[in-house]
A and B are shown apart, each in its own frame.
Chain A
Amino acid sequence: GAVVSQHPSRVICKSGTSVKIECRSLDFQATTMFWYRQFPKQSLMLMATSNEGSKATYEQGVEKDKFLINHASLTLSTLTVTSAHPEDSSFYICSASFSSVHSNQPQHFGDGTRLSIL
């Protein structure tokens, strides 16, 4: 099956630090990668959609200068949380898919990154 690797699995750092999270599709070339965040006992909230070689599309209310997304290849996308503050503490999960706007294939999720800002 499709395997998505996400690293690191947990980050604890001081307020003001920038944190970079990597998402890799290991055994397939992902047309599209997605970044979600999930607060305790809540569902997944889509933050942004990224396609290789183009700018990410951010959902309403998500600050693109705060959450920098780079999708340099068909197997790697990165999310950088810049100048993180305690309110950015959350569970960040990436997913990868063969989907395009014309098809709806399943998304395969990485293991997630638990970010704690002190």
Chain B
Amino acid sequence: QKEVEQNSGPLSVPEGAIASLNCTYSDRGSQSFFWYRQYSGKSPELIMSIYSNGDKEDGRFTAQLNKASQYVSLLIRDSQPSDSATYLCASGTAGKLIFGQGTTLQVKP
């Protein structure tokens, strides 16, 4: 069964620190990877997409992909209390997404 694994957390970091979120996936055929942010009671919001090995930066966010290790990560620099949410990692194959269970991030002022 195709799976995406995340540590459920919570991951607690102080304001201004770097938050590092990790994800592994089982399907070597996965071609695309996404990070979504979900606030409590809300629907997921796309933060980053990454398709090839290496780093991709967008503002305070950096996604990293290592297909050989089947590993995806998200770094959040200068973490803010408003970043406190659940972060969902998803892998895409044949037009469908498989989601991890999410990591809860708490950024403390």
Instruction: List A residues at the B interface (Cβ < 8 Å).
Output: 6, 32, 34, 42-44, 46, 49, 93, 97, 99-112, 114
Give bound CA distance, A50 to B46, whole Å. Answer: 21
B101 in contact with A43 (CB, 8 Å): yes
Give bound CA distance, A11 to B50, whole Å. Answer: 36
B109 within 8 A of A: no
Known: A46-B97, A49-B96, A101-B94. A112 touches B88 (CB 8 A): no
**Listed stretches B11-19, B37-45, B59-67; interface member:** B37-45
Give bound CA distance, A108 to B97, whole Å. Answer: 12
> What is the minimal beta-carbon distance from A45 to any residue of chain B, in angstroms?
8
Known: A46-B96, A104-B32, A104-B95. A109 touches B101 (CB 8 A): no
In the complex, chain A residues whose CB is within 8 Å of the CB of B31:
104
**Chain B 60-109 residues near chain A, CB threshold 8 A:** 88, 92-102
B92 in contact with A43 (CB, 8 Å): no
Closest 9 CB pairs of A and B: A104-B92, A104-B32, A112-B43, A99-B95, A43-B101, A109-B43, A101-B94, A101-B95, A43-B99
B49 within 8 A of A: yes
A43 in contact with B102 (CB, 8 Å): yes
A42 in contact with B95 (CB, 8 Å): no
> What is the minimal beta-carbon distance from A116 to any residue of chain B, in angstroms?
13
Give bound CA distance, A101 to B98, whole Å. Answer: 14
Give bound CA distance, A32 to B95, whole Å. Answer: 9
B97 in contact with A107 (CB, 8 Å): yes
Other A-B pairs, 14, CB within 8 Å; known A97-B95, A99-B95: A6-B43, A32-B95, A43-B99, A46-B97, A46-B98, A93-B44, A101-B94, A103-B95, A104-B31, A104-B32, A104-B51, A108-B46, A109-B36, A109-B43
